[in-house]
Amino acid sequence: MIVVNSDNVEAVETSDEIVGRGPVSRKALIDAKDTGGFGVLLVTFGKGARLNFHTHTYEQILYVTEGKGILATREEEKVVTPGTVIFIPAEEVHWHGATGDSSFSHIAIQKPGIKLAK
């Protein structure tokens, strides 16, 4: 069993090529290395911050915890708020981030494997 309180995990600024506009920080709550499969991250976006279009090798589940965000594919954008759950199929091109007037946080449940979309 792994039990983690997010208040006890340090937030780390994300500055890799996945970030389109920052600031974006993440707390690694459960590492996939420790589970042999899924990892859990708490990701926080500043106002207007977002990721670039990207894909995941495996499915991803997001649970919105704070603020107002946008989840987008190449075809559509959805505004999401706390309590919203999002399922993103493997290899679906998408991005997520905060609206211009709100910060945004979500929990991401996923297996390793992410790359920029072309």
| 14-45 tens-digit pLDDT | 988 999 999 999 999 999 999 999 999 999 99
- pLDDT for 108 equals 98
- For the chain, domains (ranges, CATH) are 13-116 (2.60.120.10)
Mean pLDDT of 61-66: 98
- Per-residue tokens: 58: 């495996």
* Closest-CA residue to 106 (of 44, 60, 50, 54): 44
pTM of the predicted model, to two decimals? Answer: 0.94
- Whether omega for the bond prior to residue 23 falls within 30 degrees of 0, making it cis, is yes
* Alpha carbon distance 1, 35 (integer Å): 9
Q: Is 83 left (phi over 0), alpha (psi -120 to 50) or beta?
A: left
| Mean of per-residue pLDDT scores for the chain | 96
* Closest-CA residue to 51 (of 115, 102, 107): 115
Q: In what order do the strands lie in the sheet with 77-80?
A: 19-21, 50-51, 95-98, 69-72, 77-80
Q: Residue 80: CA atoms inside 13 Å, Cβ hemisphere, count?
A: 26
